[in-house]
Chains A and B, each alone.
Chain A
Amino acid sequence: MKVLKRCGLVDTANKAKKKTPKLDNEEEKPQTSEAPNQDHGVSDIHKDMKRLKLKKSVKKLKMKKSAKKLEGEVAEGTQQTNSNMLTNQEAENPGVVESDSSEDEVAPRNTIGDVPLKWYEDEEHIGYDITGKKITKQAKKDMLEHYIANADNSKNWRTFYDPYNDEEVELTKQEAKLVLRRLRGKTPHADADPYAPYVDFFEWPDAIHPLSSAPEPKRRFALSKSESKKVVALVRAIRNGNLKLDKPKEEPSIYLLWGDDSSSTGKAEHGLSNIPAPKPKLPGHEESYNPSIEYIPTQEEINSYQLMYEEDRPTFIPKRFESLRSVPAYDKALKESFDRCLDLYLCPRTRKKRINIDPESLKPKLPSRKDLKPYPSRCYLEYKGHEGAVMSISTEISGQWLASGSTDGTVRVWEIETGRCLKIWRVEEAVHCVAWNPVPDLPILAVSVGHDVLLLNSGLGSEEQQEKMKELLLFAVTPDNSEHSIINWLPYEKDEGIRLKHPKTVTSVEWHRRGDYLSTVMPCDILDEIIYYIVLLTVCTRNIPFKLHGLPVSSVFHPSRSIFFIATKKAIRVYDLLKEKLVRKLEPNVREVSSIAIHPSGDNVIVGSREGKLCWFDMDLSSQPYKKLQCHPKDITDVAFHRSYPLFASCSDDCTSYVFHGMVYSDLNQNPLIVPLEILRGHSSSNGRGVMDCTFHPKQPWLFTAGADSVIKLYCN
């Protein structure tokens, strides 16, 4: 650049020439022949300047005065660099002998470069020569010596001191002249012509005409109206604040250098789910050509790979090589890259919404069975003696005795504790149902046999109780036994007791909690079934003409209120006994109801069905079942509640009985808790029937089950 600048200095004279109009070109054309000379001059100057460049410090010193003047010129000169360059090129074209090479240049002795010289002020050397040796300073002349030299030497005015090389430099006459001319503001060389004619470097045949004669279009100089309108609108919008200029986006100054590119969650939010391709496993130590000894499998391990499944087998077996050179071509390379491509190709590239739910969490939170002890779980006692299927069992309220009725035509009373059979009645017909009177003082047994219901004296109470029972049971046929009653009260001939003769087969008999009333169920195929309910103590029959739509199956008294439940095959009908009308209807929505039991609190009813479903009704909730449990694969034959423990059970023809925890809370906001506890097995099937009846011990958490295999089992906690 400096060189160019100096050229500029040299060519400042051309400035005027440049400004001459192009039209002059023709006139000056003839002068072009002189140009080579002139150009020589220029190249000379150029050479000089090159030399001068070596002595720039000298120039600095000497040209200080004219520095200001020069600076202005430099500014102009730089603008014209291009043209100067052109002239330079032109100048060299004719075949200049002198080259630009540095042959004639004196190489600088000092090699410290363009560094401040004061760094070496205090040193003994001024720098280093090209071989790296120190150049020691010459002894300095004092002022007197200087003066004498000045006086002696006429050329002294042309010499100056070069601190860079630490030497006296003497300018030649030409050099001095050049400098002087520059100081005077003239071209450095006297023979340079600042007014040389302009030589156009480009000629064309019809140069007299402009390229186009079309007048300048208006759009070249006039502002566009529509654009100015747009600008005005934008300015207005900005002023009113309608247009908000975008703030320049801030580039995050900090970013994770090693961050994972795959976690492009930001994009996923906008609906663009970019799933990066799965990354291949990076090679580890074992893939090395010379892995550590621990990576190399032993022969045994390699043999054991053969026993593994194809999928589990390692694909790469590390091997050791002497050098990288001896590593053979990887035989699986093609296959692996194919597999990789296949992976990428087959990789699902859409994000699927998949709900991962732990199946365990879907299970209801049930308390553990251990916390719900006691409940019957193991059979310890068997009551054997019946010869036919035991159809029905009933426990006496004190928990001492168990009554059972069987198809072999016997009713037996067992001692629960020992399993001893205390009493046998032979009634000669299959017994359907037995029921103890719930009053402890009157251990009367009601037995339904064929068309009859027998009220039997168990003979188990004390003397006074015995007498009372005898009084009750030994009565003459009352006049009440008239034609409008369809039940005949007869004394039982074979044993002390009463025989109630029904027109139809009685399947179920149930005592009221006070032991005064007895209900019997006669399923018939006609519509107007009647449930009888009998006032025992005054020995009369009250027929409650309940209209039933469907065959009655079973009946049960409410434990505390005068409410009566009748289970028909389709529905449970709830009657108020005082008002003698239907109060409610429970719909279990099962195929055929087989049994019903009521919770001792009276608000919950369980219903067993022929298809093995168990329905729990909460009377406070609705007439639909609160819970439906599909537990048995076969018919449920009976269901039972425990009197005091929160237990209920169901038994089925599949020879099993299920025991459930059924906690009813006094807090009305809390729903009953039902937990299945235990499946009691042990009975064997007989004629397709399994367990016929189940009943809980009144005080202990024990369950009695009566099987069609003529055995009664007691399951204890």
Chain B
Amino acid sequence: MASNGDITAEDENSRRVQVRFITKLQSPLKVSLSSIAIPSNLTRRGLSALVNSIIQAGDSDWEPIPFDFLIHNELIRMSLEEFLIAKEISAEKTLEIEYIQAVVPRKEEGPLPHPDWMSAVSGAYPGFILSGCCDSSGRIWNSDGMCTHILEGHSNAITSVSIINPKVSGSGAKIRLATASKDRTLRLWEVDINEPVVPDTKVRAFKILRGHKSAVQSVAARPSGDMVCSGSWDCTINLWGTNESDAEDESIKKRKLNNNAEKSQTEGEVISELVGHKECVSSVCWPQHETIYSASWDHYVRRWDVETGTDSYNVACGKALNCLDVGGEGSALIAAGGSDPVLRIWDPRKPGTSAPIFQFSSHASWITSCKWHDKSWFHLLSSSYDGKIMLWDLRTAWPVSVLESHNDKVLCADWWKDDSVISGGADSKLCISSGISVL
């Protein structure tokens, strides 16, 4: 192989290891399976250049892209030699190095300005970005960076947003959204995605959910879309129905709007209340039909059974928790961050232990949000008050990538369209970092 000769000429005197590059990537990124001898002092960068040069040898107009390398399912974050020594892997045999595309954003899209701090974002629906702002309104941005809808109605800052039915498709389908606010209410909204795009269309909530006694901190929707749950400063988790007209019609107050009477607003009642947390429920997550996960300032993560309303699993970490997400391997790992710079990951399937299976502590301040990647078992992101968003791979203890697009506290972050990270913070900007090839 031509490139092989180049490399050998470079480092004549260093140790060599026999390696074979394998990959699950598709054909243009695939290289031949033959094993080659490479110097053992190569780092990830060197390996990446090597693979790029191999690909270039087959395809002359190849644009080099960064790769990441896995040995025995662990990412290489030092020189190959050090890695082998640290992991006690024999260098005698032919090493199989798997390469994947490096998880780094390749494009920074212009920040979308907000009038106030951006406190919530959701990228669950690939068609648009839903953002919540401290000026008590929510916004919908399309992929061109244009604000298509403004959700008006809250009287205080929005704390959390959620898309109730992100999987809906077809003509006439309406996307339902839920927002939680410090004005103690949740509002449900409906957006018609097939409407022609008009900038800054004002939308009114079709349903107002009152019942919390204090500021609502978090909202999450059931995967089936018929219910949402919310965590609040009054230490409870409330479950609400999302249908426009509920069974108990009597309780619904119909209110004509003052100026444009096109839409009516109904008020929903609490279906069920999950009591157990002793302090503010700062984050909720509803990954499966019957299971709700919640994180609270009382240092506990709890798993609730919706049917019985009891918590079936709880784990304490000693720190007030701010965010929680469930995903990863088997969609069962709990990632949570809070009032310290450590992102902790628990495996509730492991019996008898409450110790986190992973702890990532590269941040410098509180962690405000963490989100698992939808498709990958290994990738998650976290945002922190130190102004950074970090992308993590469970296969290494260092962040795979650090995004420093914000210059103030990052309050919220999410994945969007599987290859972008959207985030908002105290600098009132919505930043989109795209081109991240997770798979």
Contact = CB atoms under 8 A, between A and B. Distances in A.
B365 interface: yes
B297 A699 contact: yes
A456 B119 CA distance: 28
A462 B184 contact: yes
B406 interface: no
Contact of A381 (B117, B280, B385): B385
B411 A418 contact: yes
B214 interface: yes
A588 B426 CA distance: 47
B117 A418 contact: yes
A373 B318 contact: yes
B340 A462 contact: no
A412 to B, nearest CB: 16
A110 interface: no
Given A381-B365, A462-B184, A699-B297, A717 B319 contact: yes
B366 A420 contact: no
A398 B366 contact: no
Interface in B175-193: 184
B233 A380 contact: no
A374 interface: yes
B88 to A, nearest CB: 32
A674 interface: no
Given A420-B134, A699-B297, A374 B385 contact: no
A374 B319 CA distance: 9
Contacts of A700: 297, 320, 339
Contacts of A478: none
A374 B213 contact: no
B409 interface: yes
Given A418-B117, A717-B319, A380 B279 contact: no
A699 B280 CA distance: 10
Given A420-B134, A716-B339, A381 B319 contact: no
Given A419-B409, A462-B184, A380 B340 contact: yes
A700 B299 CA distance: 10
Given A420-B117, A699-B279, A381 B366 contact: yes
A400 interface: yes
A380 B339 contact: yes
Nearest to B157: A420
B215 interface: yes
A57 to B, nearest CB: 103
B413 to A, nearest CB: 15
Contact of B426 (A373, A417, A418, A462): A418
A381 B366 CA distance: 8
Contacts of B280: 399-400
Interface string B140-175: 000000000000000001000000000000000000
B319 A462 contact: no
Contacts of B341: 380
Given A699-B279, A716-B339, A717-B319, A380 B297 contact: no
Give the bracket for the number of chain A residues in contact with chain B: 10 to 19
B339 A398 contact: no
A717 B366 CA distance: 11
A717 B297 contact: no
Given A380-B365, A716-B340, A418 B409 contact: yes
A525 B117 CA distance: 49
Contacts of A420: 117, 134, 157, 426
Interface string B295-310: 0010000000000000
Interface string A687-707: 000000000000110100000
B117 A717 contact: no
Contacts of A373: 318
A717 B340 CA distance: 8
Contact of B215 (A381, A400, A419): A400
A373 B317 CA distance: 12
Interface in A369-424: 373-374, 378, 380-381, 398-400, 417-420
A566 to B, nearest CB: 34
Contacts of A717: 318-319, 339-340
A462 B213 contact: yes
Nearest to B278: A699
Interface string B315-331: 00011101000000000
B365 A398 contact: no
A417 B214 CA distance: 15
Interface string A593-609: 00000000000000000
A386 to B, nearest CB: 17
A398 B233 contact: yes
Which of A399, A418, A419, A717 neighbours the largest number of chain B CB atoms within 10 Å of its CB? A418
Contacts of A419: 385, 409, 426
B385 A400 contact: no
Nearest to B318: A374
Interface in B14-60: none
B247 to A, nearest CB: 27
A717 B338 CA distance: 11
B236 to A, nearest CB: 14
B189 to A, nearest CB: 23
Nearest to A378: B340
Which of A398, A417, A700 neighbours the largest number of chain B CB atoms within 10 Å of its CB? A417
Which of A378, A380, A699 neighbours the largest number of chain B CB atoms within 10 Å of its CB? A380
A7 to B, nearest CB: 109
A399 B409 CA distance: 21
Nearest to A462: B184
Interface in B184-238: 184, 213-215, 233
A322 B319 CA distance: 80
Interface in B417-432: 426
A516 to B, nearest CB: 22
A400 B340 CA distance: 18
A603 B184 CA distance: 39
B318 A398 contact: no
Contacts of B134: 420
B284 to A, nearest CB: 16
Contact of B385 (A380, A399, A462, A699): A380
Contact of B366 (A374, A380, A462): A380
A551 B370 CA distance: 54
B115 to A, nearest CB: 14
Contacts of A699: 279, 297
A378 B409 CA distance: 17
Interface string B242-280: 000000000000000000000000000000000000011
B159 to A, nearest CB: 9
A469 to B, nearest CB: 16
Which of B157, B215, B339 neighbours the largest number of chain A CB atoms within 10 Å of its CB? B339
A716 B319 CA distance: 9
Contacts of B409: 418-419
Contacts of B365: 380-381
A420 B365 CA distance: 16
Nearest to A374: B318
A706 to B, nearest CB: 20
Contacts of A702: 339
A700 B279 CA distance: 10
A378 B340 CA distance: 9
Given A373-B318, A699-B279, A700-B320, A398 B117 contact: no
11 contacts: A400-B233, A418-B117, A418-B411, A419-B385, A420-B117, A420-B157, A462-B213, A699-B297, A716-B319, A716-B339, A717-B340
Given A374-B318, A716-B366, 13 more contacts: A380-B340, A398-B233, A400-B233, A418-B411, A418-B426, A419-B385, A419-B426, A420-B134, A462-B184, A462-B213, A699-B297, A717-B318, A717-B339
Interface of A: 373-374, 378, 380-381, 398-400, 417-420, 462, 699-700, 702, 716-717
Interface of B: 117, 119, 134, 157, 184, 213-215, 233, 279-280, 282, 297, 318-320, 322, 339-341, 365-366, 385, 409, 411, 426
Top 6 nearest A-B pairs (CB, nearest first) are A380-B365, A716-B339, A380-B366, A700-B320, A699-B279, A400-B233
